[in-house]
Amino acid sequence: MRELVIISGKGGTGKTSITAAFAHLASLQGGAMLCDLDVDAPDLHLLLSPEHNEEHAFRSGFEAVIDPALCTGCGTCAELCRFGAVRPGQGDDGTGWRIDALRCEGCKVCVQFCPAQAIGFTEKHCGQWYASGTRFGPMIHAQLFPGEENSGRLVALLKKEARTRAEALGLSLLLCDGAPGIGCPVIASLSGASQAVLVTEPTPSGRHDLERVADLCRHFRIPAAVIINKSDLNLQNSADIEQYCQEQGHTLLGRLPHDEVVVRAMVQAKCVTELPATPFSEALRSIWERIVHLEPKAAARPVLFQPKPNA
């Protein structure tokens, strides 16, 4: 199965609009399993309007919870917690102790040392993930709750589900909207990918983050191909990016002009390729054809991110 991961490093480059348009174009050519791996702030669903067929809880890590019926109020847990997670004021009268879930690191020290065994240690419910249907095909996506961590583990879970279900459905393409940045969620996004598509823009921060994600792809031996979005905002910077791609051996898939059709499509919850043709959507169709015909890698990419089981 071919795995295409669209990433950008910097936010706001148009990655999701481009991914949604690719989902549309892929649906016209045999279809793809779609996957939104930006679990901290997903937005592909805004354009694809998925209908949830399945909803699952994502649990990862542990958190301490004080049982007020057992707690004697000795304060040992507050003294020992290095993260300031044990706070006063559990009872209605403001007495006792409670644990601030956002501060608790799940180290278990308070659990071990509570003389009354009043502290439970439960698996943390960090978010929800979904198997959905869209007008362009099946989609796997998720939403972490605000402030929750372990997004790399959730990304790995989504990719595993997406691969399994794509194989079951006989789909030969997995199309992923990758996580932003260059950290753990992006590494998990790229794990097993056969091709990374890097969306950038001709700004200093766009160029900076392009180099960072391109270096990440090189480190993990994943071929990178580049799209310059809003390329006419700064023609010199666009030319510099093209030169950079040439020097580094990254395929340049093409330039996209700045075009208000992107905003019009967003407002209508559609993809740009669903609206009447514009220079932007025509250029995007050409880029998609280039991607379809990129030489596939002979060997599957190594698995880069294998989440550890819960401790």
DSSP for 50-62, written as a single string: PEEEEEEEEEEEE
Please give the sequence-ordered ranges of beta strands (E in DSSP) within the chain, or none if there are none.
2-7, 33-36, 51-66, 86-88, 97-99, 119-134, 137-144, 173-177, 195-200, 224-228, 251-255
Out of 71, 154, 176, 198, name the contact with ligand SF4 by CB under 6 A: 71
Q: Does 85 bind ligand SF4 (CB under 6 A)?
A: yes
Out of 9, 106, 137, 181, name the contact with ligand SF4 by CB under 6 A: 106
Minimum gap (Å) between residue 107 Cβ and ligand SF4? 4
Backbone angles phi, psi at 139, to 5 degrees: -145, 140
Minimum gap (Å) between residue 298 Cβ and ligand SF4? 48
Q: Which of residues 216-275 bind ligand SF4 (CB under 6 A)?
A: none
Q: 25 and 288 in contact (C-beta within 8 Å)?
A: yes
Q: Does 196 bind ligand SF4 (CB under 6 A)?
A: no
C-alpha 163/C-alpha 155 separation (Å) is 12
Q: Does 76 bind ligand SF4 (CB under 6 A)?
A: yes
C-alpha 47/C-alpha 178 separation (Å) is 16
Q: Which of residues 111-140 bind ligand SF4 (CB under 6 A)?
A: 114, 116, 118-119
Count of residues binding ligand SF4 (CB under 6 A)? 27
C-alpha 86/C-alpha 42 separation (Å) is 32
Minimum gap (Å) between residue 94 Cβ and ligand SF4? 14
Handedness of CA 34, 39, 43, 46 (dihedral sign): positive
C-beta of 82 vs 308, nearer to ligand SF4: 82
C-beta of 77 vs 179, nearer to ligand SF4: 77
- CA-based max dimension of the chain: 70
Minimum gap (Å) between residue 115 Cβ and ligand SF4? 6
Out of 108, 125, 219, 221, name the contact with ligand SF4 by CB under 6 A: 108
Contacts of 241 (CB under 8 A, 6+ apart): 200, 202, 207, 210, 226, 228
C-beta of 30 vs 68, nearer to ligand SF4: 68
Stretch that binds ligand SF4, among 29-37, 83-91, 159-167, 175-183 (CB under 6 A): 83-91
C-beta of 147 vs 204, nearer to ligand SF4: 147
Q: 189 and 176 in contact (C-beta within 8 Å)?
A: yes
Q: Does 74 bind ligand SF4 (CB under 6 A)?
A: yes
C-beta of 32 vs 110, nearer to ligand SF4: 110
Each residue 27-66 as x (binds ligand SF4 by CB under 6 A) or -, in order, gives -------------------------------------x-x
142 Cα distance to chain centroid: 9
Minimum gap (Å) between residue 124 Cβ and ligand SF4? 11
The one-letter code for the residue type at 51 is: E
Joined tokens for residue 110? 């308070």
Judged by the rule CB under 6 A, the positions of this chain that interact with ligand SF4 are: 64, 66, 71-77, 80-81, 83, 85-86, 97, 99, 104-110, 114, 116, 118-119
